[in-house]
A = this chain, B = another copy of it.
Amino acid sequence: MDKPLILISNDDGIEAAGIHSLVDYVKEYGDVWVVAPDRPHSGQSSAMTVNQPLHISQKPDYNGAHMFSVSGTPVDCVKLAYHTILPRIPDLMLSGINHGSNAGNSIIYSGTMGAVMEATTIGIPAVGYSLLSHSPNADFSETERFIRHITSRVLRHGLPAGICLNVNFPADVKIEGMKVVRAATSHWTEEFQEYTDPHGHKFYWLKGRIINEEPEAEDTDLTWLDRGYATIVPARVNQNALDCLQSTADLLDL
């Protein structure tokens, strides 16, 4: 019987340390194919490329994994992998390990999770992994045993239709354990830095940090990451607010 086919992508690009660590940690579970952006695409959410052509480049294998880069977004990578690159439908899709947090409401903007949600839409069980460090030299070793545990369980049992997992790891600490929790209600303080160019025109650069709107809550990812735990958030791709159909009709006098 064939080994399971595992597709790996990310949003930091095919040269990021995190994607190589992920290959190292999961290669024993299957036939690993990496299809990742040719450059960083942080903050790309579920963006896809509609007005430009896409190029695929095969790279030298890494630690037994087939390596392909795509001149597009994380979603483009999953779409092209599925339709053009892979020899068959993947049994599992993994994204990351992202350099930086995707906890709280960061899932909205995350290219790492954009790739995961694209795979989920296609019907492939998918998990995103992120470490709370933006360093290109981040130490991922503490995450290995958790990634191996989660990956092997999801490969064996699958996930419910339309549900994916968003896994975040604290950085620079001994990880205490894993918690299945919800994402904290949060938002970014989008404090733009303002500059003036040599011609006297202003320009702006996004900075900002995440604000936990419920710091006292005991059941959120931001709370448990602060306590040194890996957090696992089951997320639903479908955003239908079924409980609001009637109230919306009432509000609109329909």
- Chain A residues proximal to chain B, CB less than 8 Å: 40, 42-56, 73, 75-76, 79-80, 82-84, 105, 107-109, 111, 114, 117, 121-122, 149-150, 153-154, 157, 159-160, 163, 165, 178-183, 185, 187, 190-192, 194-195, 201-206, 232-242, 244-249, 251-254
Contact = CB atoms under 8 A, between A and B. Distances in A.
A82 B239 CA distance: 24
Given A44-B47, A233-B240, A241-B236, A165 B203 contact: no
Contacts of A154: 251-252
Contacts of A204: 53-56, 80, 84
A92 B119 CA distance: 34
A71 B78 CA distance: 27
Nearest to A158: B251
Contacts of A107: 239
A105 B121 contact: yes
Number of copies: 2
A86 to B, nearest CB: 13
Contacts of A241: 163, 234-236
Contacts of A180: 245-246, 248-249, 252, 254
Given A75-B109, A190-B79, A204-B56, A47 B50 contact: no
B239 A159 contact: no
A195 B55 CA distance: 10
A117 B178 CA distance: 30
A159 B80 contact: no
A253 B178 CA distance: 11
A235 B245 contact: no
A252 B150 contact: yes
A237 B239 contact: yes
20 contacts: A45-B47, A45-B48, A46-B46, A47-B111, A48-B109, A48-B206, A53-B205, A54-B192, A79-B192, A108-B121, A154-B251, A154-B252, A160-B244, A163-B241, A180-B245, A180-B249, A181-B245, A182-B242, A182-B245, A234-B244
A203 B114 contact: no
A192 B246 CA distance: 40
Nearest to A70: B204
